[in-house]
Structure 1
Amino acid sequence: MNTLHNKVAVITGSARGLGKAIAERYAALGASIVVNYSRDKASAEEVVSNITAMGAKVIAVQADVTKVKDVERLFAEAKRAFGRIDIVVANAGIELIQLPVTDFTEEQFDRVFSINVKGAYFTLQQAAREIADNGRIIYISSSTTTSPVPGMAVYGGSKTTPKYLVEILAKEIGHRGVTVNSIIPGPVENTGVFTEMGKEDPFYLELLKGSPMGRLTTVNDVADIAEFFAGDLSGFVSGQHLLVNGGSIY
């Protein structure tokens, strides 16, 4: 069985969805957890309660990843609480779907790129500065970066850029034994835009039709890979992007 005992993990955007699933998985494996949230304090407190009930150590830190000073403070508070950082998951992001290239606005572009690109870049930069030797850095990308879908130009573009940084960072800090990888989930059930989307929605049905396994990705599917990348078994895997979509065309 994998163990993350004596490890400290920082997961951005971990008050809900994929970030929550990864935080709770790491806690179940024995890691101390830094839950990050931007606005939803109530959800962050729920995650803290869940992790505390597992017997793991946990703190919640409010920080907006679009603000570099907030990112720096997030890492500083993590080290103040636990003394070190061994695992960083750059997960915070927002979606923008079903929007043709001819229709997106400057405001929409700026907001998505501010969170998904700027936020990811400075989270990964701070991770590189603060993570312990032999640590693990993981970026949560999107299958829109591998299977271009109409209406996803802004979102897919914003998730593509940090994948390049993953490969660069793996080369720049690999000498410290640190691995840097990205997870590329397919459309994830019950998260983001799918939280309120009905299962009879034409878009949902189209995605389902493209899946040979007859379902969308789940948060546990992604947490499984996050567990692998955080542990010893992936110690010589770096600069890689692992697609988790069950062979879907999306």
Structure 2
Amino acid sequence: MKVLEGKVAVVTGASKGIGADIAGGMAAAGASVIVNYSADRAGAEAVAGNIRRAGGKAEVVQGDVREEHVSRALMQTAVDVFGRLDIVVNNAGYYHYQSLEEITVESFHQHFDVNLLGPILMMREAAALMGPEGGSIINIGSAAARAILPTTAIYSATKAALGKVTSIFAKELGPRNIRVNVIHPGAVETEGVRAAGLLGGEWERGLVDATPLGRIGQVDDITPVTIFLASDEARWITGEAIHVTGGF
């Protein structure tokens, strides 16, 4: 039996990158998956199409995680379409690296709204709809939560805050058998990283030099950890921060 057989998962920001790989991996592990996207419908449909062609079940749902009604719609769609809600992966994120002089009020709020408010809204709605068996909420943070990296102050602050609320909500939701954990990935090669021109230059060399395992991460380095935390094999794990960084 597959480790997520019969379970239903919602994955935000799943049209590409880490979220897309997690959605596909959870489907391969037996889960039915809600594939959320904000702008890239073609990417989300491709992810869902791959899941269906492999014999899995997936539903695509558009929505900006900053908007309160979106969290309700995502969780309710999981229940309406697949009959239950067991797993939520808060993967949608935003980053724009800026020095102190470059930080704007708009950028501040966009970072915090996407990276912190969005997951909080998702957790609130998920907790309301998860059944008596409970469930697993997995927040995707960042190694930046504890690293000291110039130009990442606002982004790093959002991920550090996400780690804190993870531990608090784990305490609050534990009596309902809802587990809440956060994964902090290191530098991972994604479409966004490639589009930003960060590979093959000083940025990549610096991170590789600071990583004992000697390479940039890949999206499929993160997915197995996410599946484990979502599964019953992690039934005694909650409130934890798992650093998947190659030792960075």
Shorter-normalised TM range: over 0.9
Shift of 1:8: 0.3
Aligned pair count?
247
SS of aligned partner of 1:33: strand
What amino acid is aligned across from residue 8 of structure 2 in structure 1?
A: V
Matches of 1:160 and 1:42, distance apart in 2? 32
Q: Unaligned 5+ residue runs, structure 1?
A: none
- For normalisation by structure 2, the TM-score amounts to 0.95
Q: How does 1:155-174 map to 2 (within 5 A)?
A: 155-174=155-174
Partner of residue 32, structure 2: 32
Query: After the TM superposition, which parts of structure 1 deviate over 4 Å for at least 4 consecutive aligned residues?
Result: none
Which residue does 1:18 correspond to in 2?
18
CA RMSD of aligned residues (A): 1.4
Per the TM alignment, residue 194 of structure 1 is displaced from its structure 2 partner at its CA by 3.7
**Which residue of the partner structure matches residue 78 of structure 2?**
78
Counterpart for residue 125 of structure 2 = 126
Tell me the residue number matched to 1:231: 231
Structural mapping, 1:49-128, within 5 Å: 49-97=49-97, 99-128=98-127
**What TM-score does the superposition give when structure 1 sets the normalisation length?**
0.94
* Structure 1 residue matching 2:220: 3-state secondary structure: helix
Matched residue of 1:102: which SS? helix
What is the CA–CA distance in structure 1 between the aligned matches of 2:188 and 2:112, rounded to whole Å?
21
Query: Is the 2:30–2:56 contact (alpha carbons within 8 Å) kept by the matching residues of 1?
Result: yes
CA distance in 2, matches of 1:109, 1:208: 29
The 8 Å contact of residues 5 and 31 in structure 1, kept in 2 or not, is answered as: yes
- Deviation track 1:108-154 (CA, whole Å, cap 9, x = no partner) reads 11211111111111112112222232311100000000112111001
- Unpaired runs of 5+ residues, structure 2, are none
SS in 2 for 1:64: coil
Shifted more, 223-232 versus 125-134: the winner is: 125-134
Matched to 1:149, the amino acid is: L
1:191 to 1:239, Cα distance in 2 relative to 1, 3 A: farther
Are the equivalent residues in 2 in contact too, given 1:2–1:231 (CA < 8 A)? Answer: no
Of all paired residues, the percent bearing the same amino acid is 37
